[in-house]
């Protein structure tokens, strides 16, 4: 048979068993309960007034003070999250190199319009009419999400035939 105390907290069990629990050394009187409740309400109000980043910092600090090694909300351990935050602050100067580019036809020489249309057709699956309409709508994005090497090759070919191309 399971113990009754496994389902009832120890203080509640003692209060139930002993008629005068106020004489116990760990019991709290009504006077002590009110300031404790006010203190907890004040702390709760202060925590709710924090911004999201302050709450994240607080939760990390709280875990560290308690000696817990619980992962933070980002899925990293608290020490790794703190290190990542420090690295992000120092690494803002570094710019991530883009790997995918959009090829934008900015303008073209009027004499080279036919050559530009033919070149646009070589790297897109457009027909003559669609390619002509696209070229006439300059500035227009010809292709999106192209790898760097391919984008540079296409831009070079378009520049050879008299177009001004921007990689975005």
Alpha-carbon gap, residue 87 to 73, rounded angstroms = 18
Same domain, 80 and 42: yes
Query: Could you tell me if residue 75 is inside a domain?
Result: yes
Pick the last residue of a domain from 55, 87, 119: 87
Domain hosting 125: range is 100-167
Alpha-carbon gap, residue 156 to 62, rounded angstroms = 56
Query: Could you tell me if residue 118 is inside a domain?
Result: yes
Query: Could you tell me if residue 13 is inside a domain?
Result: no
pLDDT score, position 85: 53
Of the candidates 80, 42, 51, the residue with the CA atom closest to the CA atom of residue 64 = 80
pTM of the model: 0.43
Q: Are 154 and 103 in contact (CB under 8 A)?
A: yes
Same domain, 104 and 163: yes
Q: Return the residue matching tokens 């177009």.
A: 163
pLDDT score, position 14: 46
Beta-bridged to residue 104, according to DSSP, are 141, 166
Chain-centroid distance of CA 144 in Å reads: 24
pLDDT score, position 5: 44
Pick the last residue of a domain from 48, 66, 87: 87
Query: Could you tell me if residue 19 is inside a domain?
Result: no
Query: Could you tell me if residue 147 is inside a domain?
Result: yes
Per-residue tens of pLDDT for the chain, all 168 residues: 444 444 555 555 445 444 554 444 444 455 556 678 888 888 888 888 888 888 888 888 888 888 776 655 555 554 555 555 555 554 445 567 777 888 899 998 889 999 999 999 988 888 999 999 999 998 898 888 889 889 899 999 999 999 999 888
Q: Considering only CA atoms, give the Rg of the chain.
A: 34
**The CATH number of the domain where 137 resides is what?**
3.30.1390.10
Pick the last residue of a domain from 87, 114, 129: 87
Alpha-carbon gap, residue 61 to 67, rounded angstroms = 10
Query: Could you tell me if residue 21 is inside a domain?
Result: no
| Tally of domains in the chain | 2
């Amino acid at each position: 048979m399971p113990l009754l105390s496994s389902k009832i907290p120890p203080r509640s069990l003692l209060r139930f068993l002993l008629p005068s629990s106020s004489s116990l050394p760990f019991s709290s009187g009504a006077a002590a309960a009110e300031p404790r409740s006010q203190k907890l309400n004040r702390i709760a109000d202060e925590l709710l007034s924090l911004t999201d980043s302050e709450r994240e910092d607080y939760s990390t600090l709280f875990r560290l003070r308690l000696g817990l090694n619980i992962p933070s909300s980002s899925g990293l351990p608290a020490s790794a999250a703190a290190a990542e935050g420090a690295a992000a602050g120092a690494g803002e100067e570094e710019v991530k190199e883009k790997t995918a580019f959009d090829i934008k036809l900015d303008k073209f020489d009027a004499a080279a319009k036919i050559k530009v249309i033919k070149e646009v057709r070589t790297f897109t699956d457009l027909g003559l009419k669609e390619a002509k309409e696209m070229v006439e709508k300059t500035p227009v994005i010809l292709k999106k999400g192209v790898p760097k090497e391919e984008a540079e090759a296409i831009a070079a070919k378009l520049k050879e035939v008299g177009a001004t191309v921007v990689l975005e």
